[in-house]
Structure 1
């Protein structure tokens, strides 16, 4: 069955608007006058560890979280979305490229996919197979879908507006602000409709684009070096690695740029991220932080952007808790609550306060944050409180079924609480599709498919990650031995971990 495109649906909405207009109004209307009709408004929600811009949708009849991702060249499902619905994946032999390198592309057959006003039935969709960390969203809607009509980001009111222009080629379209700047599109080598445009960093020209799927704005390492910034120089802060499409973790830094100029808007002393990768699609990515402090219209009909500042921190690398984040947490957004928990835990943007960190963590877990439930489960597991640990870890895994380290932690909790057989069934289900890739060998060890020596051999096999994998393997070997009553063996395994360090956590997802 042929599915309607977004533009077809919007066109139908325009026709409906015209048919409902009074006849005398149509007669009095100058046919040559610009008519800029708002044809759809879609509410957005901030979700995930990166507080990503998402919209609601449906996949095969169940609610779905869809990442609004102008940085993506396609609309696709994620493993999170397919695992939640137990969809069968088919290899395509193709790949997609993101900030973390290349990802395998699969396909899945759906009965229904709904995004905004568009409903498609009986279709096959691509599935992005590889992320540096499991995404919280079920699918992403990319630039080809979003930019079929003029698109306005009005994040102050948490909505996307779509427009259909008629006779508006030379009309100023920023209806909300007569002082909005106009930024022309530039010719791009990319097949994506997401426009590229010029900005200046410390007076030098660079190619930029808006990446709504990226939580914070960033520049490439080469752009930073071109304006004289050295990542080992004074004032440069090393941040947590970032992940996205592709397996690799990308090093991230924060630097201060004297001037960032976009048309006639100048942002001084701009604290911005630097990513050690060339996979961004442009030298400068203006992310969700920029969109929160600006109102932006993609006037595809005129091949230009309209941008005006709406207030707040122009970029999101400032060391403060911004009012919008605090408001989201106060209003019950579990992901915002988890973000505040981490900030109070590590003193980022606020004075370190372990009591407040714990309070926000508990609220986030109660409101369904998978990261909060995972953190609480791991903490309880370390304390030997296996039954409550399993309850939290189970909730986390239900929300993110692709989180295979979480599945291993849940199994360890089941062993500790005497529920080994239930743990085996859950573990086999979690690793049913692929137990070859790490940490699959740990699951195979738990399930009796390989012995301890083989597990440690496979852990050491990776030259770069061998030590970290060996440390993790020894932790699970100890859990298995303890469940079998071999306390001495468990203690010996843990003693071999004396040089192990905690695994670093990702800062959030990027496109």
Structure 2
């Protein structure tokens, strides 16, 4: 029988039996995380000896540097070979740069490619993003309680990945799409949606058209609240009761309902699980094994 443990007023954990054999993990880096005003995560990197701050974005397509950062570093812009990349909201990215002498938490790279991001697409104190093109080369551990992003050598161990506590844990199997995004099914008030784990999203988002279809939401429904116009068009709210995935239950989730014509959500994704929910968890992402293991953020 599964037991339910409350993580926060928002999130509960439906605990699965712990794996008996702990994995021997090999840490590659421990990186300090700063928290933006929106709650999103920023980590330091150095490029050619110059400091930059990058948003940790599991929902990104490729790592990016802002236009002003590219100018400051004196990097040469080149057209993207693949053509055009579209971001959430439809912003088109058409240029890339090659950076040299990269340092991330003690890890070094001679060269890395970055897409060029318009300055208005990110907080003015942030210089770009760290996306799955880099992250998926490691097991990635999000330790919110200690403000650490821990990178581990990818493990092949099928045992217990929860190295930080003996507290209750849950595991979510996932798939990885062509963009490197972590995807799994979630259940929202009895309806199933394809979700993407997106640490770069400050809010969790549900596709408006999918919600209308699943819950028969008409414009005259008094519970469907128009929250006004924003950067991604008109947003709505609705009093959902519970969102569950794997062994995790999110009570009364606050989801922004946005039209697909405004968000340009790709593929079959209909829900973005953003940092507003993720920050209540301690997450270990084993990309190669496609395992997401979680505890309460405070469990140590």
Q: TM-score, normalised by structure 1?
A: 0.48
CA contact (8 A) 1:42 1:116 kept: yes
Structure 1 partner of 2:144: 155
Q: CA deviation at 1:262?
A: 1.6
Structure 2 partner of 1:227: 215
Pair 1:125-2:114 in alignment: yes
Structure 1's 144 and 111: CA in aligned 2 closer, same or farther, altered over 3 A?
Answer: closer
Structure 2 partner of 1:253: 236
Q: CA deviation at 1:121?
A: 3.6
Q: CA deviation at 1:95?
A: 1.4
Distance 1:172 1:63 in 2: 36
Distance 1:231 1:118 in 2: 52
Match of 1:115 among 97, 104, 117: 104
Structure with higher helix content: 1
Structure 2 partner of 1:289: 276
Q: CA deviation at 1:45?
A: 0.6
Structure 1's 168 and 220: CA in aligned 2 closer, same or farther, altered over 3 A?
Answer: same
Structure 2 partner of 1:71: 59
Distance 2:253 2:112 in 1: 45
Q: CA deviation at 1:290?
A: 1.5
CA contact (8 A) 1:294 1:309 kept: yes
Alignment of 1:67-466 (within 5 A): 67-85=55-73, 87-92=75-80, 94-121=83-110, 125-129=114-118, 136-164=125-153, 168-169=157-158, 171-175=159-163, 176-186=165-175, 190-225=177-212, 226-230=214-218, 233-239=221-227, 241=229, 243=231, 249-277=232-260, 279-281=264-266, 282-310=269-297
User: Deviation string for 1:116-139 (max 9, x for gaps)?
Assistant: 333334665331348557754212
Q: CA deviation at 1:111?
A: 4.0
Distance 1:240 1:60 in 2: 44
Q: TM-score, normalised by structure 2?
A: 0.78
CA contact (8 A) 1:224 1:230 kept: no
Higher relative contact order (CA 8 A, sep 6+): 2
Distance 1:80 1:92 in 2: 18
> Max radius of gyration: which structure?
1
CA contact (8 A) 2:154 2:286 kept: no
Distance 1:113 1:45 in 2: 19
Distance 2:204 2:94 in 1: 27
CA contact (8 A) 1:220 1:284 kept: yes
Structure 1's 241 and 299: CA in aligned 2 closer, same or farther, altered over 3 A?
Answer: farther
Structure 2 partner of 1:427: none
**Cα root mean square deviation, aligned:** 2.8
5+ residue gaps, structure 2, are: 1-20
User: Deviation string for 1:446-481 (max 9, x for gaps)?
Assistant: xxxxxxxxxxxxxxxxxxxxxxxxxxxxxxxxxxxx
Distance 1:179 1:210 in 2: 21
Q: CA deviation at 1:218?
A: 1.4
Q: CA deviation at 1:53?
A: 0.9
Structure with higher strand content: 2
CA contact (8 A) 1:103 1:128 kept: no
Match of 1:35 among 24, 29, 36: 24
Structure 1's 104 and 168: CA in aligned 2 closer, same or farther, altered over 3 A?
Answer: closer
Q: For 2:221, what is the secondary structure of its paired residue?
A: coil
Distance 2:22 2:248 in 1: 31
User: Deviation string for 1:381-431 (max 9, x for gaps)?
Assistant: xxxxxxxxxxxxxxxxxxxxxxxxxxxxxxxxxxxxxxxxxxxxxxxxxxx
- Count of matched residue pairs: 271
Q: For 2:84, what is the secondary structure of its paired residue?
A: strand
Distance 1:191 1:262 in 2: 22
